[in-house]
Structure 1
Amino acid sequence: MNVTVVRPGELGAPELARWRELQHADPSLDNPFLSVEFALALSRLRSYVRVAVIEDDGKVAGFLPFERHAFGIGKPLGSWLTTCHGLISVPGLELSARALLRACGLSVFDFDHMVAGQPTWTPHESAVRPVPLMDLTGGFDAYIDHIRANSPKNFKTVRYKERKLARDHGEIRLEWCASDPESMRTLTAWKSDQYRRTGRVDRFAQPWIVKLIDEMHACESPSFGGVLTMLYAGDTPVAGHFGLRTHNTLVGWFPAYDPEFARYSPGIMHHLRMAEQAASHGLGQVDMGKGGREYKGWLKNGVIHVSEGRVSRPSATAAVHWMGRAPVNKARNIVVDRPSLYRLADRLLKGFGRVRTTLQPETVEKEPSGVR
């Protein structure tokens, strides 16, 4: 096999068409983070984005989008920002991971959301984890029947809160594919607030991420697009979500809600209405992403799997990288695999977020000159 490394923007029309052909042909690649449109958008904002073009017998057999950082450190495309990575290739492509790293000029490659079962990465998988799905292939009514039968108490509670929210604040409705930029700013403001309150890093404090989201929001084609959904009570937005879709799958990315309405559980209410609209628009599933959130457990009616692992070639860089990452990864896996520890860690992060918010100095607006 021959491997050529280029920037995504250097791909020609035949390569772009081949990428889409390979992705569409394999159901395991049905994820917008594996779409060529996402790779092109990210490469316009980040100089370290590359794609390996894999040829076999003179024909393109696959693509690997990735990030090449200093000292030969490789990361999947989008790294910590995305929820799916992988080779976009013919099914069962037999290609040594270390040979691929050598061709890409990489010493080490960590992954934690790889499409599970790809032959290149399987020997290097350290864990395989489930990703909860809202499977809508049988229609929304069949999905709701499943949820009602398997989580009757939770379902009744959500419906009760939905009626109460409507009585208190007005009719409940969901806007699908909201195009108003102000709606996006409302959602990202909620999400930034959530990051701070829960002790996480605010992703929207980075301008390039805001630009990426805006560009994805403007994308619309049969096989790829950004979907902004907003839940309203009367004329008041109470919850929302921005994700990406293929022709069949909507992937969860940035869900958030107005904390003033937290007692109504607007996030779960929004997810159910979003799934209903997704089904009515011909989508077959909503990928909620791996993670320990309890609401995903009872909203799901199916799973797929992603893997975690590490590939390295003998080098000083790989050794130093392993020493820095191994303890962190081991600790994280221990927490993720134990629900009680996950809940404790979540509470600690939220406590840290409250303290950090309290200690931040308030912004004082200056009065215009001459005003008393």
Structure 2
Amino acid sequence: MKITVVRPLDLGETEVKRWRDLQLTGPDLMNPFLAPEFTLGVGLFRDDVRVAVVEDGPDVAAFLPFQRGPLGTGHPVGFGLTDLQGIVAPPDLDLDARALLRACRIGVWDFDHLLASQVMFRPFHTVRRVEPVMELGEGFEAFEAHLRKAAPKTHKTIRYKERKLGRDVGELRYEFESRETADLKRLMDWKSEQYNRTGRTDRFARPWIVRLVRHLHETGFGVLSVLWAGDEPVSAHFGLRNGPVMAGWFPAYDTRFGKYSPGMIGHLLLARGCAGNGVTEIAMGRGGKEFKEGFKGREIPIAEGRVARPTPAAALHWARTAPLNRARGAVLDNPALYRKADRVLKTYARLRRRAS
């Protein structure tokens, strides 16, 4: 096999079409984070994005999008933003992972949301988890019936608060796809406030992420949905769509309406909007929210780990990241620890705001 490393914008129409065709060879490769549009978008705003093009004879057999950092450290494209990662290739591809890294001129490739089904990376898994998926192939009514059965209390609460929001504030209106830049800016402002309120890193404080989200919105690969109560925007969600698959990405809401649980209402209305617009599943992202259990219809096995060659950079990377990854993993796998960590972060955020 021949492996060539190129910048995303160096891919021609033939290669992009082949990429899209390869996405049809695996059950979860259609996820938007694995689509060429996402890699091309990130490549517009980051100079470290590359794509390994794997050729087998006259045909392209695979694409591996990655970011190449200092000292030969590699990550999936959009690392820290993505909920699914991997090589875009048929399931039976026989390729040596370390040889692929050598061709990419990286000593280590670190992943945290890798498709666990990809055989070539299986020996390098350190932790396996699952990502919940809403299934909408049978329509919204079937999905809601599933939710009502799987989580009756959650469903009843959402519907009650939805009616109360309409009575107290104004008639509800859900816009599945808003093209308004003002709506997008509002969502990013809400999300930044949430990050700061909960002690998380504000992703929208990074200019390249803001530019990326604007670009994906402008091109239509990103779908911005907005819930209104009368004239008041209540909540919004920005997700990525690749044909019938939606990847949930940035949900946010106006905290003035927090008592109505606008995030949960928004998830249910997003499911209805997607089902009515040809989307058959929504990948919800890994863990963190117990209500996702009732929404999910299936799960995607994902893995954390690293592929490494024997280089000084790989050893340094392990020493720097392994303890932190183990601690984070322990928190994510234990709901009680997760709740405690969440409270600690929120307390820290409050103290930080007071100090400033």
| Shift, 1:264, TM fit | 0.3
2:302 is equivalent to residue 306 of structure 1 = yes
Identical counterparts, % of pairs = 50
* TM-score relative to the length of structure 2: 0.98
Cα separation, 1, equivalents of 2:173 and 2:298? 26
CA distance in 2 between partners of 1:311 and 1:247 (Å): 31
After TM superposition, the score normalised by the length of structure 1 is: 0.94
Partners of 1:100 and 1:162 in 2: how far apart?
A: 51
Which amino acid in structure 1 is aligned with residue 285 of structure 2?
G
What SS is found at the alignment partner of 2:110? strand
Contact 1:147 1:301 in 2 (8 A): no
C-alpha deviations, 1:162-219, integer Å up to 9, x for none? 1111111011111011011000011111000000000011111111111100000012
Q: Displacement of 1:42 after TM fit?
A: 0.9
Unaligned runs of 5+ in 2: none
The answer to whether the Cα contact below 8 Å between 1:33 and 1:83 also exists between their aligned partners in 2 is yes
Cα drift, residue 58 of structure 1: 2.6
Output one character per residue of 1:261-317: Cα deviation in whole Å (capped at 9) or x when no partner: 110001100110110010010110111100221221222222112111111111111
Distance 2:13 2:142 in 1: 41
1:171 alignment partner in structure 2: 171
* The one of 277, 293, 296 aligned to 1:297: 293
Give the conservation status (yes or no) of the 8 Å contact 1:95–1:119.
Answer: no
SS state of the match for residue 306, structure 1? Answer: strand
Give, in angstroms, the shift of residue 90 of structure 1. Answer: 2.3
Aligned partner of 1:253 in structure 2 is 249
Consecutive unaligned residues of structure 1, counting only runs of 5 or more, are 361-372
Question: Whole-Å Cα distance in 1 between the matches of residues 353 and 57 of structure 2?
Answer: 59
The yes-or-no answer on 1:280 pairing with 2:276 is yes
Please state whether the residue corresponding to 1:167 is helix, strand or coil.
helix
Residue aligning to 1:325: 321
Matched position secondary structure for 1:195? helix
Q: Contact conserved, 1:178 with 1:230, CA < 8 A, in 2?
A: yes
Q: How many angstroms apart in 2 are the aligned matches of 1:18 and 1:299?
A: 34
Structure 1 runs (4+) deviating above 6 angstroms are none
1:235 Cα offset (Å): 1.1
Partner of 1:202: 202
Q: Would the aligned equivalents of 1:53 and 1:63 in 2 still touch at CA under 8 Å?
A: yes
Q: Give the whole-Å Cα distance in 1 for the aligned partners of 2:341 and 2:293.
A: 19
Residue 26 of structure 1 deviates from its aligned partner by 2.5
Distance 1:345 1:214 in 2: 32
2:133 corresponds in structure 1 to: 133
Question: AA paired with 1:48?
Answer: D
2:28 is paired with a residue whose SS is helix
Tell me if the contact between 1:162 and 1:264 (Cα under 8 Å) persists in the aligned partners.
Answer: yes
Aligned residues: 356
1:54 aligns with 2:37: no
Report what 1:37 is aligned to.
37
Larger radius of gyration: 1
CA contact (8 A) 2:108 2:308 kept: yes
